[in-house]
Amino acid sequence: MNVVIIGPAYPLRGGLATYNERLARAFREAGDDVRLVTFSLQYPNFLFPGQTQFSTEPGPADLLIDVSINSVNPLSWWTVGEKLRRQKPDLVIFRFWLPFMGPALGFIARRIRRNGHTRVVAITDNVIPHEKRPGDRPLTRYFLSACHGFVTMSRAVLADLRRLHFKQPALYRPHPLYDNFGPIKPKPAALSALGLDPQFGYLLFFGFIRAYKGLDILLEAFADVRLAELPVKLIIAGEYYEDAAPYEEIIRRYNLENRLVRATDFIPNEKVADYFCAADIVVQPYKNATQSGVSQIAYHFSRPMLVTDVGGLAELIPNGEVGYVVPPTPQAIADALVDFYEHQREEELTAGVWARKKDFSWSEMVKALKEVAG
């Protein structure tokens, strides 16, 4: 089968690019011909909250990547759509995560479909976005109505599709493991690589810092006097995608500075293993969510997790088996973390992660995408 994946990929950075590149390799492992088409301009700079959209690491030499879509230039949409219409790939997979991308991706999908051959499907990270803006729904509908089928990575997004009355074939498959960040490291080696004191335990908050991810809730929880009495520090590893001032105010209010390890720049791929393998537990205190790639990195590195009971997070984290599922409140998070350390749960929860991680395969995602294509 001739497959094209449209969405973020190198030279863009971040979890979506990492996922799409790993998916391309999974299709190749299944015997398909695959290439990626990505953005020459993903977001105008005034809309991008981080430091840079582009990777400083070497590109993947094993993948074919066409850098050609300008998200705000309709001429590029027409050019890409026409090129793929003429080439007639068997399957085109769009990665849809934000209504802003609806016009570009929806236009390209419609041009491709004019060849009467190509099947167009989408991996829909979100149908109703975390941070809502005027016009979200019509932009989303414009894209979704151009697709033959969908795969979602949470049941909540599948329900959202049905709530919007889209009747195309749709399947839920959990986010596969992020197994592309290298092997598991011994904890002492990871601590040493990061220059961290092995006399402390470490919690890990990982990923871009945005309001819906609940770092403020975690900081409030970490101020709990019971945690303050433990030899434990919180690693914040990820770039601010919004104003840091509200978080800094919480840190000052509770005098948390000496209990934090800050790594608030973009974390390059070669350092991901160090942060996860240095951690005792990975904490995702989200206020709302659909699915999270952070969970699948934690699974790969066999780290216990604490997640809040929002969106699709709890689908992947059996409570008491691989970690904790708690309400998104400082008290509930603090209670769980105190239980984790006082009752020394790391070993038993790590064993649970090992047992569960086999359930998240890339081959199942490939099969689902082919199935909804019809």
pLDDT at res. 47: 57
Cβ–Cβ under 8 Å, residues 359 and 164 = no
Is residue 172 within 8 A of residue 372, CB to CB? The reply is no
Q: What is the pLDDT of residue 45?
A: 67
pLDDT tens digit at each of 374 positions of the chain: 999 999 999 999 888 999 999 999 999 999 999 999 999 998 876 555 555 666 777 889 999 999 999 999 999 999 999 999 999 999 999 999 999 999 999 999 999 999 999 999 999 988 876 567 778 889 999 999 999 999 999 888 999 898 888 889 999 999 999 998 999 999 999 999 999 999 999 999 999 898 989 999 999 999 999 999 999 999 999 998 889 999 999 999 999 999 999 998 888 889 999 999 999 999 999 998 767 789 999 999 999 999 999 877 888 899 999 999 999 999 999 999 999 999 999 999 999 999 998 889 999 999 999 999 98
Q: Where are the domains of the chain?
A: 2-172, 187-358
- Write down the pTM of the prediction: 0.82
The Cα 34–Cα 92 span in angstroms is: 10
Rg of the chain, C-alpha, whole Å: 21
Residue 313's nearest CA partner among 294, 332, 331 is 294
Q: What local confidence, expressed as pLDDT, does residue 316 receive? A: 87
Compute the distance between CA of residue 296 and CA of residue 173 in angstroms, rounded to an integer.
Answer: 13
Task: Tell me which residue of 296, 36, 44 sits closest to 174, measured CA to CA.
Answer: 296
The whole-number pLDDT of residue 337 equals: 98
Q: Which of 74, 85, 76, 138 is nearest to 110 (CA)?
A: 85
Task: Spell out the CATH class of 2-172.
Answer: alpha beta
The CATH number corresponding to 187-358 among 3.40.50.2000, 3.40.50.720, 3.40.50.300, 3.40.1550.10 equals 3.40.50.2000
